[in-house]
Amino acid sequence: MMHERWQNQLLLYVAGTLSPDERIALEQHLATCPACRVALHEWRLIADAVHTDVHQRVEADHQMPALPPLRLPPDAVPPDVLPASPPLAPPPPYRNGKSTAFVSQEDQTMQITLTQPNRRVRRNPLRWNSLRQVPITLAAALLLIAAFGGLLLFFSTRSDSTPGAFAPAADGGRNGAHPPAGDEPESGGQPALAQNVTATLVPTGTALPFTAQPARTLSPPTQLPEDVMLTGIRYEAQEWNNQGPATLAMALSYYGWEGDQNDIADVVRPNREDKSVTPAELVDYVNTRTGYRALARLGGTVDTLRTLVGSGYPVIIEVGFTPEEDWLGHYQLVMGYTLSPDTFYVYDSFQGNNQGDGLGYESWPLTANWQAFNNSFIVVYPPADEARVRSLLGPLADPTQAVRAALTTTQSTLASKDAPRLADGWLWFNVGASYVALGDYVNAAVAFDVAIGYGGLDTETGLPWRVLWYRFEPYEAYYHIGRYDDVTTLAAYTLDATQDVEQAHYWYGMALVAQGELDEARTRFEDALQANANYAPAQLALGQLNAGQPVMPFQTGPAGQIMVEPTMLAPTVLPQAVTPPALLPSGTALRVWPYTVQPGDTCLSIAFMYGHTDPAVIVTIQELNNIDCDQLQVGSTLLVPDASRESSGTLPTPTLPPTVTFMPSPTVTPSATFTPTPTRLATETFAPTPSLTPTATHTSTPVVQ
């Protein structure tokens, strides 16, 4: 039976024991088979449960599980000895504790601090006019106010703001030109901000409380070496924008892989103008194109790094990076550490590898840079080490747990009085990103409104303007709660500066589909494929569009992976393109499940499958889908209301700690243009500047982007 063969493949796929060719064949099948996607998800649930279940047999209190020492009887003699074979290479130095190859490099230690670039010209700041379309009921709004203190009260009174409007904070930079440094004065005066920023971010020697929750701390095992350097990594200087592939190539070389950054880039960045590669794309490359395995997680800590590196696994971390003026996304390969001084050593495809010993970073600058990507990391390992790596990860082994840990840590940091004010933008951004990874789009949007709305992009206090070249969670959040204008605003902002971010095109296209603009959406998906011909979500969307099928968005899974299955896995808000049924109060967000009708289904049986107990839900289903339940079509998509929340449409309350106060601090906001006032936001409009082109200073910056 044809389909049974696929069922068997699915299970092996989840177990990780399919060959690369079989994987590719299965993935192609999955794109067309909803039943298999459901089965896949079920196997994944089973596999997760099995992993946790087995692992907890040897785990004790989230400590590193200890393997008892091996006892070999002194008289043990192998009975049959084989003829001599080539001598075994000595084990890597990590097992010997102190490595004789390591030379103290304190005088050559380089540190990167997260400084706000002292910008002389503001490029094109984005003022995010948030909360104007959020369908928040009064009850939820009051709860938000209670949770966030005064700030949201302040925001929510501006309900008269013009939809779709947002204000640039200054006139400078409208035409996109970047005059040479120092020529053009800032409108509104030179911000005094840079000084403050650097001061608050200079490391004091105490790390941020990233390990706030005891249950989430991965304690280093007692046998962790004090001084580790992993050797045998083949250093690669990156080509233009190729930090992802180059860093991955280095990690793979440690295990003997003989490819290079171009082999990887040919697959993940076929268009060499593509601005960024996500960890998910790199992990996918390893798992489908090499004989090794990889996984990505959020929420890593310095303990995670020491545990993994100390056990012989180099770790790729995703970091923010400001080599000159502009912030960029970057990768580094952590390949060593010392406990005293508390330093990590990295191979950096742009900055170098310090003649093989690695560039040194103290914990605090490293984590500050790492924070910009929600402490995202990748481990590459041989397939035989799967269980070992998972045990080393401890509570981070489960991707959802890892995201929850990241979320908890970030929220604790926000609640802590010691958190630097300027890092708040990143912290809120990461809160939003974590919620997206958990599928909680409502809370995610709230957090992004704060992250992007409080400081804006490319303002003195806001996030760097390039953040949307590397992070796409805001699109996902706003899309899923129906704020399509906001999706297109963000996408347009990015595409203003560059056409080479496929995700911006993709989400623009998705928003257009939801608004019924199918032809323009098609163009957008094609543009996405121009930027990256291998970008699967755009391929899928285009395919669905051309086949007249519903175009379903992908979801970011908790490990950062792209889940191209349609939203069988989480409720979505009814897209606004569909006429809401009359029986719902207007402005209510309704969560629905798309379900493909199978032979033998009735509306009632389907409703019961989704947890409904009241047969009256049939009426809702008929209205929602504009159908007659007596004439249900097999193969059609039925939207089933979600039964797990109140059908009145009350949105869940955000779970952020109520102690977080978010009043703008007068000492930190120096610029008059920043202070939000109702009139400003109500009247200023944004004029897109499609003629924005990179300038001489921009393109002459060598190598790094």
Partner 1 sequence: MAQPNQTPGPGAHPPSDDQLVHAIAQGNSQALDTLYQRHGLRLLAYLVGQIGERGQAEEVLQDVMLAAWRGAANFRGESSVRTWLLAIARHRAINARQRRPPPGVALADTIAADDTGPQEALERQDDRDAVRSALAHLPPDQRETLELVFYHGLSGPEAAEVMGVATGTVKSRLHRAKAMLHDVLRAGEQHDA
Residues 445-474 that bind partner 1 (CB under 8 A): none
Q: Which of 386, 517, 623, 684 binds partner 1 (CB under 8 A)?
A: 386
305 by Cβ neighbours in 10 Å (0-12 / 13-18 / 19+) ranks as: buried
Assign 60 to helix, strand or coil.
strand
Contact positions with partner 1 (CB under 8 A) in 610-629: 610-611
Q: x/- contact string, 62-81, with partner 1 (CB under 8 A)?
A: ---x-xx-xxxx--xxxxxx
Contact positions with partner 1 (CB under 8 A) in 338-357: 353, 356
Q: Which stretch binds partner 1 (CB under 8 A): 206-214, 247-255, 267-275, 694-702?
A: 247-255
Helices (H), 515-578: 518-531, 536-546
Q: Which of 2, 32, 75, 85 binds partner 1 (CB under 8 A)?
A: 85
Q: x/- contact string, 592-611, with partner 1 (CB under 8 A)?
A: -x---------------xxx
Provide the minimum distance between the beta carbon of 150 and partner 1 in the complex, in angstroms, as a whole number: 30
Q: Which of 382, 580, 594, 678 binds partner 1 (CB under 8 A)?
A: 382
Contact positions with partner 1 (CB under 8 A) in 396-425: 398, 400
| Shorter beta-carbon distance to partner 1: residue 399 or 670 | 399
Closest CA to 502 of 467, 535, 539, 466: 535
| Shorter beta-carbon distance to partner 1: residue 302 or 389 | 389
**Angle formed at CA 450 by CA 448 and CA 455, multiple of 5 degrees:** 110
User: 291: which 2 tokens?
Assistant: 């004989």
Provide the minimum distance between the beta carbon of 1 and partner 1 in the complex, in angstroms, as a whole number: 13
Provide the minimum distance between the beta carbon of 489 and partner 1 in the complex, in angstroms, as a whole number: 26
Scanning the structure block, which residue is given the tokens 């590397």? 470
Assign 403 to helix, strand or coil.
helix
| Shorter beta-carbon distance to partner 1: residue 7 or 111 | 7
Give dist(CA 241, CA 268) in Å, integer.
12
For residues 684 and 132, is the Cβ–Cβ distance under 8 A?
no
Assign 347 to helix, strand or coil.
strand
For residues 254 and 333, is the Cβ–Cβ distance under 8 A?
no
| Shorter beta-carbon distance to partner 1: residue 90 or 182 | 90
57 near partner 1, rule: CB under 8 A = yes
For residues 383 and 330, is the Cβ–Cβ distance under 8 A?
no
Give dist(CA 689, CA 237) in Å, integer.
35
Contact positions with partner 1 (CB under 8 A) in 576-595: 593
Q: x/- contact string, 27-56, with partner 1 (CB under 8 A)?
A: -----------x--xxx-xxxxxxxxxxx-
Helices (H), 416-535: 424-437, 441-455, 467-470, 473-480, 484-497, 502-514, 518-531
| CA dihedral angle for residue 170, residue 172, residue 176, residue 181, rounded to 10 degrees | -130
629: DSSP letter: G
Provide the minimum distance between the beta carbon of 29 and partner 1 in the complex, in angstroms, as a whole number: 18
Q: Which stretch binds partner 1 (CB under 8 A): 134-142, 277-285, 386-394, 504-512?
A: 386-394
Q: Which of 116, 161, 261, 561 binds partner 1 (CB under 8 A)?
A: 261
| Shorter beta-carbon distance to partner 1: residue 354 or 374 | 354
260 near partner 1, rule: CB under 8 A = yes
15 near partner 1, rule: CB under 8 A = yes
Give dist(CA 9, CA 227) in Å, integer.
44
Count of residues in contact with partner 1, rule CB under 8 A: 90
Give dist(CA 680, CA 166) in Å, integer.
10
For residues 302 and 366, is the Cβ–Cβ distance under 8 A?
yes
Provide the minimum distance between the beta carbon of 474 and partner 1 in the complex, in angstroms, as a whole number: 18
398 sits in which H/E element: none
21 by Cβ neighbours in 10 Å (0-12 / 13-18 / 19+) ranks as: exposed
354: DSSP letter: G
600 by Cβ neighbours in 10 Å (0-12 / 13-18 / 19+) ranks as: exposed
93 near partner 1, rule: CB under 8 A = yes
| Shorter beta-carbon distance to partner 1: residue 48 or 342 | 48
Provide the minimum distance between the beta carbon of 293 and partner 1 in the complex, in angstroms, as a whole number: 10
Longest dimension (CA), the chain: 89
Give dist(CA 485, CA 576) in Å, integer.
11
236 near partner 1, rule: CB under 8 A = yes
| Shorter beta-carbon distance to partner 1: residue 43 or 154 | 43
Q: Which of 219, 255, 498, 650 binds partner 1 (CB under 8 A)?
A: 255
Provide the minimum distance between the beta carbon of 484 and partner 1 in the complex, in angstroms, as a whole number: 22
| Shorter beta-carbon distance to partner 1: residue 90 or 635 | 90
Q: Which stretch binds partner 1 (CB under 8 A): 472-480, 521-529, 637-645, 662-670?
A: 637-645
103 near partner 1, rule: CB under 8 A = no
Contact positions with partner 1 (CB under 8 A) in 283-322: 312
Provide the minimum distance between the beta carbon of 213 and partner 1 in the complex, in angstroms, as a whole number: 17
Closest CA to 334 of 314, 359, 312, 363: 314
Give dist(CA 322, CA 113) in Å, integer.
8
